Every structure is written in C-alpha cells, then in structure tokens.
Amino acid sequence: MRWNPCRVQVMAAVALLIACAAATAAARPGLTESRIELARPIDLVVRTRDGGSLQGTLVAWSDESIWLSPTAAVGGSAPVEAERILHWSELDGSQAFEIRRRLINPRDGLAWAELGVCMLRSGEVNLAERAFGVAAVQTDERLAAACEEALRLVRSGGDPGTSLEALREARREQALDGRAPVDGAAASAPVPWPVLTQAQLAMETERLKRDAQEKLARVLLTIDPLETDHFLLYTDLPADEARRWSRRLDRMYAKLLEILAMPRDARLFNGKCVIFVFADRGRFVEFESAAFGFAARRVAGVCHQRGPDVFVSFYRMEDETRFISVLVHETVHAFMYRYRTPVNLPTWANEGLADYVAAHVNPKSREQEDHWLQARRFVESGGDVCEIMRQDYSDGTWFTKDSYPVSHMLVHYMLRDRPEAFRKWIDDVKSGAHGGDWRASLEDCFGVDPQRLADGFRRAMLTEQSWRR
C-alpha cells in the first residue's frame, strides 16, 4: 500500500475535523470515555498546539484524550493543579504521535490505524501516513483497505474513524469469545519485514525513483540520483562531492552489518534508502515542508519512515565533520528501522548507536572524545545514568545536555565489553521478546537490570583516564 493522497483536499477537510475536536474538548466535563489506566504513570512536559506547555503525570488515555495528574513543575512549565483531560488534538502534533505510539502495542495493526485516524483528526496528515504505513505492513488486507478509506473520508469531509468500525467490532467479538486480549493487543510477535527477491528489489527501487522525483518537483527541482548498492542519493552538490558522500554511506552500511553480524550482502531496505542533500539550508527547509509536511527550521537532518520506505534529508553544513556525523547518524536510524521489524530500540540506545556508528565512519571527528569527556564529567558529578535511560521521545524528557554523550558512551561500553550480548539484545527488542520490555531483554541477554548496567558503566568510566576505542 502506497500513500500518495492529495494534500490540498486532505488539509482542507481536516480543518473541519480540528474544529469539531476542539468543540468536543471544550464540552468534555460531562463526557464518559473508555479510559485505559497506565500501570506505570509517566511524568512528562506536554507541548500544546498553541505553543504552551504543561507539566504533569500521564495516568490514563483513551482514543480521544489523555489524563494528566498534578506533579511538580520544572523548566518554566505550568503545573497541572488538578487532574486535567486533554484531547489529542490539543497537543503538539509530533508529540501526540510519539506519546500514543509508545502507549500502543507495536504489534497491533489496528492500534496503528487508530493512531493514523487520531492524527487525521488533528490535521497531521504526514504523521497519519506514517501510522497507516506501519499498519499496512500487517497481513490483514482489510486493515489496509480501511486505512485507504480513512484518507478518502477525510478528503470528502467525513469522519475517518468510521472506516475502522467493522474491524473494531470484530475485535470486540474476539475479546468476548476469548480469542483475543481485551485490550486488543495482538499476541503474536511483530511482523518481520519481508525478504524481497532481486526482481522485487528492482521494482521497488524504480518506484522510489519516481516517488523521489515527485517530491523534488514540489520545489521545482529535477535531480538525477547517484545510485549505490543500497542508496539513491539526490543532491545539488558538485558531482565529486556527491560521490564522496555516497562512499561514506556505503561504509556506514557495512559497519552496521558488522555490528549486527549480518552477511555482507544483506539487503535491508525496501529497494533502496532515499537520501536528499541540499547545498542550501533554505532549500532544505522548503523541501521538507513541501515533500513531508515537516517544519525543519531547527534541525540539520531528518529521517522519515513511511511504511516500508525510508527517506533521509539534510543540508550541507559548512562544518564538514559535523555534516558527516549528522548524515551518518540519521541514516543509521533508517537502517535500524528496517532491521528485522519496525519495532524501535529504547531512545537512549537508538541515539547512542547512531552516534557510535557515526564516530566510526568519521574518524576525523572529535565527537567521540568530546562525548567521552562529557560523560566522564557526568558520572564524576554523580549524574544518574538510569535517568537518561528512562528518557523518551514521547514524553518530552529526551533530551538534556548530557543525553547524547552518555548514551553514546553507554552503547560503546556495551559493544566493547560484550558485543555478542549487545547483538542478541537488539534482536530480542526488535522481535518483541518479553512483551516488548527492553529491560527484561537486558536481563536475559546481559544478566543485569538497568541499574546494574549503569553501575558497571560508571565504574568503567571512572577507571579510564582517557578516551579509548
């Protein structure tokens, strides 16, 4: 299933849905919803659509809302003084997506489709496409058809949620019959990415070329790709420089295959990974807005995951060493998304591994030494490594000034001391072992819980007198 809706029609239609959602939120005091209590409440700073922020504890959620309870305010955020209900559409779109993505079972296609509908109702077409793309990976053809119907409905001004009614009813009947968990979480393991034949890889690559050109046309550009074994590189940089970056990307791919003990000829991408690199920052920001609906004013690069496809785009920073690091870092995210299943590593490991590979591919960079020094100062000053391991994209806690250096060095420590255990741990997490609990997988693969891992890391950092690979 390929998502290519008419954005003008969709965005015009969702404006009405946002207004309806706001009216529903305003009338909420007497509303009864299917409230799902969290076994582990989450402290977070909620960013609202109007630019404000609220500090509270997420204690429950539903298809319509989240419930925040009071907690101490930090960082200038307004505290929640009494339990407050916020409609999903009242939240900043990207944070709403991340929060809900972390709350659902990643193996449940219907939950991903519900997330897509939630994003459509909030006007976040780009994020809806992402959720529907993951749902489309599931094996139920009815689910793919329902996602298509949701987009058709929102284009025509209807409620996209009605497209899922038949699937919801089937889920309820299964629960009553004892054939599915009441919470709707699928009991099976995450669905692995399919292994494509050479003919299928070639077909998908040609489709991606057409898709990339269509995206470039939105900013009136036509660029021929520089094609490698695993990447399609589109850039307005000089040809010699473009070839240099393509070689870096291939080295990054080879390094990740080595880390994960995969065959040298392994093909992970759905065809190939599409890379856009622009000479001008303004053109990069314009392209991101037109092609992906993403506001890129504060970033240097970004990885987009669209169903089975991955797109990565950047601008060419003046600091070449920094540019290489960002280029490799974001492309590692694309690689790891396509490794085995769409299940994500915990935030600290996801970012730490990306920095680790970027450092190895870019030996001239001082980032690894700088990260070692900052992480050492962090542990010397009594910093809580477990606190960084608890940080998450979804709850607004990622990142602080020490998050990247400590995560980088923690992954370095795990890979240096027990590379086989690290590989097994990644495989466990990506396969959904232990119900998707990375902490339980850590105990199974390393024989330690997060606290003992943090303690060992602290001792190692304090023993080292200087950076060593």
- What domains does the chain contain, in order, with CATH numbers? 7-176 (no CATH), 198-338 (3.40.30.160), 347-463 (1.10.390)
Give the whole-angstrom CA distance, residue 362 versus residue 356: 10
Structural element, H or E, at residue 20? helix 7-26
- At 177 the pLDDT is 55
Residues 230 and 250: beta-carbon distance below 8 Å: yes
Residues 83 and 37: beta-carbon distance below 8 Å: no
How confident is the model over 113-122, as pLDDT tens digits?
Answer: 999 999 999 9
Residue with tokens 């960002």: 326
Give the whole-angstrom CA distance, residue 328 versus residue 363: 12
Low-confidence ranges of the chain (pLDDT < 70): 1-33, 71-80, 106-107, 136-140, 174-189, 394-395
Structural element, H or E, at residue 282? helix 281-292
Residues 84 and 56: beta-carbon distance below 8 Å: yes
- At 188 the pLDDT is 52
Give the whole-angstrom CA distance, residue 359 versus residue 243: 20
- At 79 the pLDDT is 64
- At 140 the pLDDT is 64
Residues 105 and 185: beta-carbon distance below 8 Å: yes
Structural element, H or E, at residue 355? helix 347-361
Show the beta-strand stretches assigned E in 307-421: 309-315
Q: Tokens for 79?
A: 């505290």
